[in-house]
Amino acid sequence: MKNEKLIFGVMSGTSLDGIDVVLIKIGNKNIKLIDFAHKPYSNKLANALLLIQKPIHNDLELSIELGLLHAQTTASMINTMLKKLNIYPKKVCCIGYHGQTIRHQPSKKFSVQIGNAHMLAEKTNIAVVADFRNRDIVAGGQGAPLVPSFHQKVFSSRTKNRVIINVGGISNLTYLKIGDKLIGFDCGPGNLLLDYWVQKNKNKNYDDKGKWASTGNIIPNLLIEFMKEPFFQKKPPKSTGRDLFNSCWLEKFDHKKESPEDVQRTLLELTAISIKLAIVRYCNEVDEIFICGGGSKNIFLKNRLEQLTTQKINNTEELGIPSQSVEAVAFGWLANERLNNIPNNSPEITGSSGKRILGITHPA
Ligand SMILES: Nc1ncnc2c1ncn2[C@@H]1O[C@H](COP(=O)(O)OP(=O)(O)O)[C@@H](O)[C@H]1O
Ligand SMILES: [Mg+2]
């Protein structure tokens, strides 16, 4: 059909689980998901990415090499999808390529996503839009979260005030109140501390469905100490990442004598309580809550969120976009806005001094 565009969206989030690729069709009125692929990072690559995120580790050349590897892997995922669907690259308008964040320091005026957009354009013969965050940051914003305006576009309702919770490595929420301004910000750690702790103690990448956490008990004093972290009290605009919530953050607390499953249960409670607090403080009159991101598969966490909010929480799949694809679709949409020269940041969310067009275009 005329006016319909094929676009790829690519996302690699703070959890360091891997690369998500979606192919979407954007029409005048709707966005349709055509295909989704996920490639987990090998343990070797995830460890290298983790290492380079540590503030003391500042290896410029390694970050460039990892960026090239990220682009090559992404290109091969995209080319495989094109072949499978029998689509020529020329038919695709662009790729919205987020890259892998290795530093996010808006107060120092930068956020670094590695991933080589030149290589991705070269290997796919498709234009690439990348580097979405830095223009917003130099305009005084957080450069994050960038997905709330997309949530508004695809998930808002005329009759219900909706909250969208995205539980990735970090958790963020969007409040879509009818007739009111858009609200969105990072709530705190989503999965990344849970992942770190289960990797350390059980040698598993994540706690499947939250089963291990469910065998533990909350350690009240530890939870109180966790919650003293100033980020939780900070008013939006606010964003965070591994720069703050990382292994050092967790290891500075006194939990050596506690059983590992109790620590896991307490970390899960931290994720749940920080989301609940964010809803209580900034989202009045909530009618419906939807969840997306890998954390939506943590059944124990989802149940706990339902208890704390006394609301049934549905998956964004019910609104037409599967929870694992939402962020990648969002970056496809943001790329399309960029190509249309439509300002695609939300100053009310990020705190930047005005509307800006985010994303750098690399021609096919
Ligand atoms: N079956 C599952 N049970 C519990 N947690 C899961 C499951 N599947 C995925 N996850 C969690 O979701 C995370 C990935 O979520 P994702 O939304 O991709 O985050 P990010 O955008 O930060 O990469 C994993 O690191 C893991 O913690
Ligand atoms: Mg991910």
Ligand 1 center to 65 CA (angstroms): 25
CA triplet 185, 276, 302: central angle to 5 degrees? Answer: 105
CATH 3.30.420.40 in the chain, residue ranges: 5-141+325-362, 148-311
Q: Which residues line ligand 1 (CB under 6 A)?
A: 13-15, 17, 168-169, 191, 195, 206-210, 293-295, 297-298, 327
User: What one-character DSSP code corresponds to residue 253?
Assistant: S
303 exposure class (CB count in 10 Å sphere: 0-12, 13-18, 19+): middle
Give the nearest ligand 1 atom to 209 CA.
Answer: 3
Tens digit of each residue's pLDDT (9 = 90 or more) over 62-104: 999 999 999 999 999 999 999 999 999 999 999 999 999 999 9
User: Which of the listed residues 15, 147, 197 should we mutate to test ligand 1's pocket, taking the one with most ligand atoms within 8 A of CB?
Assistant: 15
The Cα–Cα gap between 273 and 275 comes to 5
pLDDT digits (tens, 9 = 90+) for 143-167: 999 999 999 999 999 999 999 999 9
In CATH, what is the architecture of 5-141+325-362?
Answer: 2-Layer Sandwich (3.30)
Report residue 167: phi and psi, to 5°: -105, 90
Compute the distance from residue 293 Cα to the ligand 1 centre, in Å: 7
* Mean of pLDDT values over 35-64: 93
Query: Which ranges of 203-259 does DSSP label H, i.e. alpha helix?
Result: 211-214, 220-227, 230-233, 247-251
Closest residue to atom 10 of ligand 1, CA basis: 294
The pTM assigned to this predicted structure is: 0.97
* Residue 154 CA neighbour count, 13 Å, CB half: 25
What are 5-31's pLDDT values in tens digits? Answer: 999 999 999 999 999 999 999 998 899
The CATH code of the domain at 148-311 is 3.30.420.40
Cα of 11 to ligand 2 centre, how many Å?
7
User: What pLDDT score was predicted for residue 265?
Assistant: 98
Q: Nearest to residue 150, comparing CAs of 6, 351, 349? A: 349
Please state the atom number of ligand 1 nearest to the C-alpha of residue 16. 23
Q: Distance between CA atoms of 288 and 300, rounded to whole angstroms?
A: 19
**Closest listed ligand to the CA of 169:** 1
Cα 172 to Cα 218: distance, rounded to the nearest angstrom: 23
Q: What is the pLDDT of residues 165-179, one digit of tens each?
A: 999 999 999 999 999
Long-range contacts, stretch 299-306, CB < 8 angstroms, 24+ apart: 299/209, 299/210, 300/209, 300/210, 300/211, 300/213, 300/214, 300/268, 301/167, 301/210, 301/213, 301/268, 301/271, 301/272, 304/268, 304/269, 304/272, 305/165, 305/272, 305/275, 305/276
Is residue 305 pLDDT above 90, yes or no? yes
What pLDDT does residue 173 have? 98
What is the pLDDT at residue 247?
96
pLDDT at site 2: 66
Instruction: Give the H or E element holding residue 157.
Output: none
